[in-house]
Amino acid sequence: MLNNKNCPIILLGDSGVGKSSITLKFIRDTFEDVYNPTFENSYIAELDINYGEKIRLEILDTAGQEDFINLRDHYARIGEAFILVYSITCRGSFNEMKHIKENITNIKQCTDVPMILVGNKVDLSNTERKVSIEEGKSLARSFGCAFIETSAKENINIEETFKTLVNDWKKSKERKVN
C-alpha cells in the first residue's frame, strides 16, 4: 500500500545555498556555476530504496525568499519530508535552519516530521568553511533528524541525502499506520 504513495519532498533554506543545484544534480546530473534564482520548480522522480523498492518523489524546489509568511506555512503544510539546506560557507544560512524547523513543527503540530539537515558546498571546505561539521551534527541532534554534508558541484552525498530522507519518511509512515 505504501508503495503507491508519493513522497512529497520540499527543499527549504536561504537563497544561494544550493537548493536548485542539489535538485538538478539529483534529477539530471547537471551542475551550473552561474546563479539562476528561481521562484519555485517541481519535479517528479523515482528512487530505488531498499531491495529494489521504488518510491515516486514529488520534489519542490523553493526560492528561499519567502517574503510572505503564508508561503512558508503553505510549504510546511503540503510537504511530508523536508530537506533543510544551508551552506557551510554562510553562517547566516545555518542560523536560519532553526526558524525553518520551528515553523514546520508548529504547522504540523508534531515533532515526528521526516527531515534531513544538509550542509552544502563541502567542496569549499578547506578555504571558505564558516560552519563546522560538529555544529551541523549537534543541530541535527537537537532536531532529531539526520545530518549530511554535500556538494552539488562535486556530486558528494546527493543521492544519499534523498535516500536517507525517503527511508525516514517511510519509517514515519509505518509508525503512524501501526
| Interface residues toward ligand GDP, by CB under 6 A | 15-21, 32-33, 35-36, 64, 120-121, 123-124, 151-153
Q: Least CB distance from residue 12 to Mg ion, whole Å?
A: 11
Total length of the chain: 178
Among 10, 163, 141, which Cα is nearest to 83's?
10
Out of ligand GDP, Mg ion, none, what residue 93 binds, judged by CB under 5 to 8 A for its kind, is none
Q: Residues 67, 73, 77, 79: what is their CA dihedral angle, to the nearest 10 degrees?
A: 40
CA distance 13 to 104: 12
Out of Mg ion, ligand GDP, none, what residue 46 binds, judged by CB under 5 to 8 A for its kind, is none
Beta-strand runs (E) in the chain: 7-12, 40-48, 54-62, 81-87, 115-120, 146-149
Three state DSSP letters for 12-26: ECCCCCCHHHHHHHH
CA distance 30 to 178: 40
Assess 20 for contact with Mg ion (CB under 5 A): yes
Q: Least CB distance from residue 46 to Mg ion, whole Å?
A: 22
Q: Which of residues 70-89 bind Mg ion (CB under 5 A)?
A: none
Cell numbers of 65, please? 525568499
Which residue, 101 or 170, is less far from ligand GDP as judged by CB? 101
Q: How many residues bind Mg ion (CB under 5 A)?
A: 3
Which residue, 5 or 99, is less far from ligand GDP as judged by CB? 99
Contact with Mg ion (CB under 5 A) among 6, 28, 38, 160: 38
Which residue, 18 or 79, is less far from ligand GDP as judged by CB? 18
Q: Report which residue's Cβ sits closest to Mg ion.
A: 20
